[in-house]
Chain A
Amino acid sequence: MIDPLAAAMKAAASGLQAQSMRLRIVSENIANAESTGATPGADPYARRTLAFHSALDRAAGVSLVKAGEAREDDAPFRLDRDPGNPAADANGMVKRPNVDVLIEMADMREANRGYQANLQVIRQSREMAAATIDLLRSGA
């Protein structure tokens, strides 16, 4: 059994890690929002998503959060007519990524909010630990 305040910080740290992983995937999606294939008719970049799952840490007695493997979104690609594009097929259609930048932005804000909440927990746990330690100092 570890100190519950340390356990709280461990849980918050796992949250920070998971949310930052999510931010990374979101930024990959936004960066590749217009990445088409290189050869005629080739598939473009497929949007990737991350699923979280909780994992009980028995020693600490808290539920940590783990980011799973990033998986591709199987939503259909957008089709644009652009015969001059190297990725255009015989009919002049180009497959564009299934990334909706608006959704990615919303996801980014949510990840950001989660990150801040975890950060707040760490800050507060640290203050609580500091206040407890301070009992020693002022006791004389």
Chain B
Amino acid sequence: MTDLALFDLAARNARWLGARQAVVASNIANAHTPGYKASDLQPFEETLARTRLTPTATSPAHMGAGEAAIVRAGARETEGWETVYSGNNVTLEQQLLKAGEVSRGHALNVGLTKAFHRMFLASVKG
């Protein structure tokens, strides 16, 4: 629905934030796994540019289809603050900062969606 581009954008942003939260959770879970490299998603702007057209999964056997898969495919290994002897470069502090960013972004997203909705209802009710 092009008329409600704001809602569409908010939904995409929420999906990206959810995916990023999952990536950060994986990093934190593997904070003490030897050889594990921390990964992160590409910034939302880049993900947005790549997901204008998305293939649709028409069968559960399809792999890598749908927007969520594309968002996830954007995960890249990142440089951590430090790499320990076991080859692990997850720093809990860094990951918790990222989790904080996600949390703040999500609060903003939800707040904006609420505001859009209020405006929308106000215009409908007249």
Contacts and interface: CB of A to CB of B under 8 A. Distances in A.
A7 to B, nearest CB: 4
Nearest to B120: A139
Interface of B: 14-15, 17-19, 21-26, 28-34, 36, 66, 68-69, 72, 92, 95-96, 99, 102-103, 106-107, 110, 113-114, 117, 121
A61 B72 contact: yes
The majority secondary structure among interface residues of chain B is helix
A87 interface: no
A65 B29 contact: yes
Interface string A7-26: 11101101100110010000
A18 B26 CA distance: 13
B22 to A, nearest CB: 4
Interface residues of A, number: 42
Interface of A: 1, 3-5, 7-9, 11-12, 14-15, 18-19, 22, 51-54, 60-65, 110-111, 113-114, 117-118, 120-121, 124-125, 127-128, 131-132, 134-135, 138-139
B92 A62 contact: no
Contacts of A1: 66, 68-69
A11 B36 CA distance: 14
